[in-house]
Amino acid sequence: MSAIVTFIGWHDSGKTTLISEVVAELKEMGYRVAVIKSSSSNGVMFDSHGTDTQRYKEVGADSVLFVAPDQMVLQTGSTDLSLRTLAHRYFPDVDIVIGEGFKSARKIAKIEVSRNPEQMLRNEVHGVIAVATDIEDIVGDYIFRLDESREIAQFIEKRFLVGKSVRFEQTALLINGNKVPIKDFVQEALAGTVHGFVASLKFVDDIEELELRIKLPKKDT
């Protein structure tokens, strides 16, 4: 479990400058450091030139999370996690996750956007279910113009949302960052076991959702 410490003070008291210097020192000492920046203002730009979050990245913070009344923005190091795993890890409660890129993602439906008939990805990758283009002679089952965003949204709704009952998933299991499908009775057994242990702890009431992260020690070689 990560240690937590926070710097507090009035506006313009020098918190950001001091935190930046401390982060730089901790990084020099070989530690991994994340910074969470809280703001009471709306409409604040994240990570643009001169912002506090940009300064934290400049001094080497591994991850920066910005939390404000109107937004929460996370910037962290790149991973090799799949689109599906990213969606399950960070957005488990939305109805649909829209990606940009990920053309090599396996078993993920794709809508190609194209302006050049000589560079059609649908001929090279799997899973292209529709094309949005201003090319006149493109043919296929689902071809949209680039200005038909409403029609594309309706296509997505019909294909993935309307009449599609989202399967209730009581337990989600990610191993080394990859989501592992587990049968309903295993989900129920895992949920019941963990809930039983947690419910026996003091000061734990009204449990609706549990998040458990387990990191196993490395095996000696």
- At residue 41, the pLDDT reads 83
- At residue 221, the pLDDT reads 64
Among the residues of 29-147, which ranges form H helices?
52-58, 83-90
Query: What residues does each domain of the chain span?
Result: 15-76, 83-161, 168-221
- At residue 165, the pLDDT reads 59
Angle at 110 between CA 104 and CA 114, to 5 degrees: 95
Who contacts 201 (Cβ-Cβ below 8 Å, separation ≥6)?
none
**What's the CA gap between 71 and 79, in Å, rounded?**
23
Mean pLDDT split into 10-residue runs, the chain, 221 residues: 79 86 91 87 80 89 90 82 80 82 85 85 87 87 92 92 71 77 88 88 81 80 64
- At residue 116, the pLDDT reads 84
pTM comes to: 0.70
The CB-based long-range contact list for 7-12 (8 Å cut-off, 24+ gap) reads: none
